[in-house]
Amino acid sequence: MSDEEDEIILSELNDEDLVQQMFDDLYDGLKEEIEEGVRILLDRGWAPYKVLTEALVGGMKIVGDDFRDGILFVPEVLLAANAMKGGMSILKPLLAETGAPRMGKMVIGTVKGDIHDIGKNLVSMMMEGAGFEVVDLGINNPVENYLEALETEKPDILGMSALLTTTMPYMKVVIDTMVEQGIRDDYTVLVGGAPLNEEFGKAIGADAYCRDAAVAVQTAKDYMARKHNQVGA
């Protein structure tokens, strides 16, 4: 059989097969194929939110699970997340128009004195993959940057990351300042980074320590579910 016949023509697949194929393409980090798949589903009358949740988030969940279980590693996950981003860039303006429901909003940044961002970028991408809106403040953030972002963005979640034992304690500075200003309880604070652990997270007053990006996504979802239940109660 020649390669020609072997090539899958996305537009010839039915919806169900196309979504399955997009799961595979996302897993393999094929950005152009994902963008094409998104366009095909939209052309077929799929709502942007349905494309996001069923095709992209559904596919990223498989990536996230395999990352958690040690089957996939950071480079593959970054490729998958990049492919997801391609699809998202088509959907974002459409989602804004339709006022789609969202999981929640997160502000994330690496703390002052620390310029590491691979882990943080991974969390950002996987949170977006789970349907969260993410505002990434980048690296080397003093407490003012976090406070300003909380005020302007009004997120549900604040994420802080550090990769150095010397910059870890700065997370406490941020949380203490939030406490002083009486805004600590308005946000779920998640912290992560190689030198951290659960005890440290508790000691500085964070809501949770997330050991990797998959855990961060699950933790964020759990807190959002709790928040919704409280609102509904």
| DSSP assigned state of 185 | G
| 64 occurs within a structural domain | yes
Range among 6-20, 118-132, 148-162 rated most confident = 148-162
Q: Does 166 share its domain with 224?
A: yes
Whether residue 60 has pLDDT greater than 70 = yes
Is the distance from CB of 110 to CB of 138 less than 8 angstroms? yes
pLDDT of residue 135: 96
**Which element (helix H / strand E) includes 154?**
none
5 has a pLDDT exceeding 70: no
Give the end of a domain, one of 101, 127, 152. Answer: 101
* 121 & 158 share domain: yes
Residues 181 and 233 in one domain: yes
pLDDT, position 129: 78
CATH of the domain at 192: 3.40.50.280
Arithmetic mean of pLDDT over the chain: 91
Structural domain ending residue among the three candidates 76, 101, 126: 101
Asked if 188 and 221 sit in the same domain, the reply is yes
From the list 94, 65, 74, the residue with the least C-alpha distance to 29 is 74
- 122 or 149, greater pLDDT: 149
Residue 131 and residue 176 in one domain: yes
Kindly report the CA angle at 137 between 99 and 68, in degrees rounded to 5?
Answer: 80
* Residue 2, in any domain of the structure: no
Q: Is position 229 within any domain? A: yes
Q: How confident is the model at residue 6 (pLDDT cuts 50, 70, 90)?
A: low
Same domain membership, residue 106 and residue 96 = no
Average pLDDT over residues 208-233: 87
Place of tokens 């991974």: 122
Model pLDDT, residue 67: 86
| Domain, as residue range, for 216 | 102-233
Question: For residue range 19-49, what is the model confidence (pLDDT) as tens digits?
Answer: 999 999 999 999 999 999 999 999 999 999 8
